[in-house]
Amino acid sequence: MKQNLFTDFQKVTKEEWINQATKDIKGKDFQKTLVTNGFDGIDLFPFYTEEDLKETQWLQQYHNRLNKPSDIPGMSPRYWSNIFAININQEATDNKRILQALMTGADALLLSVKEGVNFDVLLENVDLEYIELYLKIEKAQVSVLGSFLNWYHTLGKSHESLRGGLLWDPITSCLAEKNSLGSIVESVSKALSISEDYPFFKTLCIDSAYYHNSGASLVQQLFLPLGGYIELIDGLTEKGIEPEQMLSNTLLHAASGSDYFLEISKLRAFKILFHQLADLYQVEVKTEDVKLVVSTSFWTKSKSDVHTNMLRNTTEAMSAVLGSCDALWVRVHDEVKGEINTFSERMARNISSILKEESYLDKIMDPVAGSYFIECVTAQVIAKVKFELEILESKEGWWSTYESHQLQDLVKAARYAKMEDLTTVRKTKVGVNKYQMSEKLPVDNLMWEEENWQLLPLRESFLIEYPNLAKQ
């Protein structure tokens, strides 16, 4: 096109946009009428302009650098792994499910294992050199990790070919099961020691997803796990372990919720904050080397309309990809009813495949880089997280607020505020408080308890689906 048509349009300032909007709403206060005040004090404007990027220019250094380009010839530049997650009960049977998943779209595994698992049977005919492997270990993490690495060593394969990691945040796990800080530091020290010869298998995890699925607000999902991680670094430093050893052996785990654009900003902020944390400890970590595993949300799923959960999974997966995930775990849509089957597992895998093969989200390295909205919100989230981390440190850190239950009470307040928004219909959730199924589900008076020191995963629609819980 030889003629530039944009020269026919005068440049409009943000102030002029605001004046026009104020005129359209008949003189009402622009801030009170059109600006959304988020739970964490993050203001969302109805529009953003180039002027808003003046204070976010420092984010340009992260454009196209939040993910590592694919190094496989002929592949699209943007790559993420498609995770198949499975709870291991019977190794021989589960091996067949694993092989079937790998032949129908999956290229990464997430195995929930316990002590005594037979890896020879479980991973028979699985070539780990061509996939990523993630482990979730309920108890005795160091022992099971040692057994797995010893088994892998017997295969005679290069240690560098083992890629993935252990989804274990030892500090955050104290919110479900009590432990002492000294015991945690000792366990982590052993885990780092036995895995030091496996450079691409990460031993530790900063688990933001746990807070998300417990009902935490967006900013809480970042500053609380990062605060716990700082506590762990301090404990290991006292044992003579350098921060570099820990930071280079850590991956990030987050959950993607239903607030589409906010979730994109949250995930991008998570990677940037970890990179900046490494800088504070004078450890060089490239942002493209930071491993981010993102799961779709457990918190947002409802039992009263399980098929709508597939739609929720899809938008959450899109947020995960645009938010710079390196591995995507789409949870099965009917797990809330305990009816997981081959169909729901296949549907979960297909979502990731469709985002690649049909939506072409893998064709561009960083499609949201430079977006006025995403950049501004990302900067706000980062600033707010840093502010909250300073407050947390002024209260003597994560562990101190955990022992005094301040941390748990903070998240529980955010959780019940969200639940109350549903019960009072301030927020619409299809199939739960609006457009409900005409056929009522059988009443199930679930018994659910949470100690004062605990913070356990819940779902946003619990109080509507289980009215008996609302009375507790």
pLDDT at 263: 97
Find out whether 304 and 461 touch, Cβ atoms under 8 Å: yes
Q: Which tens digit of pLDDT belongs to each residue from 431-452?
A: 888 887 765 655 555 667 899 9
pLDDT at 435: 82
Find out whether 39 and 218 touch, Cβ atoms under 8 Å: yes
Provide the CB-side half-sphere exposure for 215 (13 A, CA).
Answer: 24
**Which single residue is written with the structure tokens 């964490």?**
40
pLDDT at 414: 96
- Distance in Å from the first CA to the final CA of the chain: 67
- Mention every residue, 6+ apart, whose C-beta is less than 8 A from residue 395: 401, 406
pLDDT at 262: 96
Q: In what order do the strands lie in the sheet with 164-166?
A: 201-202, 164-166, 132-137, 108-113, 81-87, 327-329, 292-296, 250-256, 204-207
pLDDT at 448: 75
Q: Which two tokens stand for residue 362?
A: 């893998």
d(CA 333, CA 349): 11
For 278-319, the three-class secondary structure string (H helix, E strand, C coil) is HHHCCCCCCHHHCCEEEEECCCCCCCCCCCHHHHHHHHHHHH
Determine phi and psi for 182, rounding to 5 degrees. -65, -40
d(CA 215, CA 221): 9
Find out whether 330 and 352 touch, Cβ atoms under 8 Å: yes
pLDDT at 41: 86
- Mention every residue, 6+ apart, whose C-beta is less than 8 A from residue 452: 405, 408
Provide the 3-class DSSP secondary structure of residue 83.
Answer: strand
155-188 core/surface letters (b: 16 or more CB in 10 A; e: else): eeeeeeebbbbbbbbbbbbbbeeeeebeebbebb
By the 10 Å C-beta count (0-12 exposed, 13-18 middle, 19+ buried), 337 is classed as middle
Q: Which two tokens stand for residue 429?
A: 């959730």
Q: For the chain (length 472 residues), average pLDDT per consecutive 10?
A: 71 92 93 88 91 93 93 88 96 97 96 96 96 95 97 96 97 96 97 96 97 98 98 95 96 97 97 98 95 98 90 97 98 88 93 95 94 96 97 96 97 95 89 75 66 95 78 52
pLDDT at 8: 75
pLDDT at 95: 97
**pTM of the prediction?**
0.95
Instruction: Spell out the domains of the chain, with CATH numbers in brackets.
Output: 62-377 (3.20.20.240)
d(CA 394, CA 399): 12
d(CA 351, CA 328): 10
User: Which residues on adjacent β-strands are paired with residue 294?
Assistant: 254, 328
Residue 49 CA: distances (Å) to CA of 22, 62, 98, 108: 17, 20, 48, 40
